[in-house]
Amino acid sequence: MKSLVTGASGFIGSHLVDFLRAAGHSVVPLGRAEGDVLNRPQLTQAIAGAAPDVIFHLAAQSLPGQSWADPQGTFRSNVEGTLNLLDAVRDHTRDTLVVIACSSAEYAPAENDAPIREDHPCEPDTPYGVSKLAEEKHCLAYAKLYELEAVCLRYFNVYGLNQRYDAYGNVIPIFAHRMLHGETITIYDDGEQTRDFVNVRDVARANIQAAQTRGLSGAFNVASGEAITVNHLVQLMREASGIEPSIKHEPPRKGDVRNSRADISAASAAFRYQPGVNLREGLTEYMAWARTNLS
């Protein structure tokens, strides 16, 4: 399988490239150094030259919080960049499968703690979620109109090795950074809100399994299928690190969802997806890495 990976130098993309190469696949990586999806001529040239069997599209502005500060930049990176890629595929390749990184941020907030299936209403309430839904809809529309296949993987809360701290980013590196620096952890609301954390290694494997299942199309959740409260997450991180954090509570923030847990049965049935890294194991590994890389 010959693959092209956009966002190859990013957190998830770098893991995916490593997994593909370890499995003996030919990989053409496109990161910021090799090409930006907003540079349409360069992107088109790369796709035409590579003639890949599969394109894994992970290049994106992937931080919901940052999208509040810069909605237009988020739109350009995510929607315009995806359209550039789809046009290049349409014009220069045939029978190419596009596996695109989408997001649970597309979903409307869940009214209770029931697992979210793919037919849950998509009513995003952040610019980031809107941009990811637009990416997905464009990708599936192109698949119907032109000679390409498309699979959209809706990631939930991805974490793991090499995930860097960013104030707008995922809660795990934020908490890890603050714990390692002796800073206070801020928990918004009462901490009983739930999230579905999935290890980056499981996400990489899901991408490859989806790519190897030809004839597949549509959108699929990629998650652990387990709900973890923020309070329990802090407890697990305390156990993994041996650090007793200082904690303060603040009121809920606009755009924060109360409950988030995925139903992963569709991905399991379609391409045999099953998460293999439990959160306790993943956090122990991550905190050991963070001591050297986040401190």
**How far is Cα of residue 206 from the mean position of the Cα atoms in its chain?**
11
User: Regarding the domain delimited by 2-293, which CATH topology (the fold level of the hierarchy) does it fall under?
Assistant: Rossmann fold (3.40.50)
Do 107 and 263 touch, CB atoms closer than 8 A? no
For residue 54, the model assigns a pLDDT of 97
- pTM for the structure as a whole: 0.95
Q: For 81-96, write each residue's pLDDT tens digit.
A: 999 999 999 999 878 9
Is pLDDT above 80 for 295? Answer: no
Q: For 77-134, write each residue's pLDDT tens digit.
A: 999 999 999 999 999 987 899 999 999 999 999 888 889 999 999 999 889 999 999 9
Rounded alpha-carbon distances, angstroms, from residue 268 to 6, 149, 220, 249: 25, 19, 9, 37
User: For every residue of 203-253, which 3-state class applies, written as one string?
Assistant: HHHHHHHHHCCCCCCEEEEECCCCCEEHHHHHHHHHHHHCCCCCEEEECCC
Is pLDDT above 70 for 275? Answer: yes
Among 151, 157, 237, residue whose Cα is nearest residue 199 = 157
Q: For 9-43, write each residue's pLDDT tens digit.
A: 999 999 999 999 999 999 999 987 566 899 999 99
For the record, the structure tokens of 208 come out as 């490859």
pLDDT band at 64 (very low <50, low <70, confident <90, very high): low
Q: Domain-by-domain residue ranges, the chain?
A: 2-293
Is pLDDT above 70 for 237? Answer: yes
For residue 253, the model assigns a pLDDT of 86
Q: At what angle do helices 230-241 and 171-180 cross, to 10 degrees?
A: 40
Catalytic, out of 128, 142, 155, 159: 128
Is pLDDT above 90 for 269? Answer: yes
Is pLDDT above 90 for 256? Answer: no
Query: Residue 94: CB partners within 8 Å, gap ≥ 6?
Result: 147
Q: Pick the more confident residue, 295 or 284.
A: 284
For the question of residue 142 being annotated catalytic, the response is no
